[in-house]
Amino acid sequence: MVKSITAGEFKDTVLASERPVLVDFWAEWCGPCRMVAPVVEQIADELADRLEVVKVNVDDESTVAAEYNILSIPTLMVFKNGEVVETIVGFQAKPDLMAKIEKHL
């Protein structure tokens, strides 16, 4: 299961991670977010040995969303060594997401 994190956990969980991290910025009311959630769960399971995966609720953690200019959701960001290396906006099929994520692993 993908863990939801708070703004307070973001630095240690995402920015200080030794492994790449996929962050799913989402909201409860967002239909496309609910569509991509099972895909993100599958990716988390399949790449568990190489990738951390977390979720940030943009309504609850608006400071993090603002810091990374999250204007549309779902937005998936891949962080590597504390830096954003890939941004994916909107729903995308699993093969497309995997291709964009795996190139950073």
The residues carrying an active-site annotation are 30, 33
Query: How many helices (DSSP H) and strands (DSSP E) are in the chain?
Result: 4, 5
Rounded to the nearest 5 degrees, what angle is found at the Cα of 31, between the Cα atoms of 30 and 33? Answer: 65
- 57 beta partners: 26
Name the phi and psi angles at 17, rounded to 5.
-65, 140
Give the three-state DSSP class for 3: strand
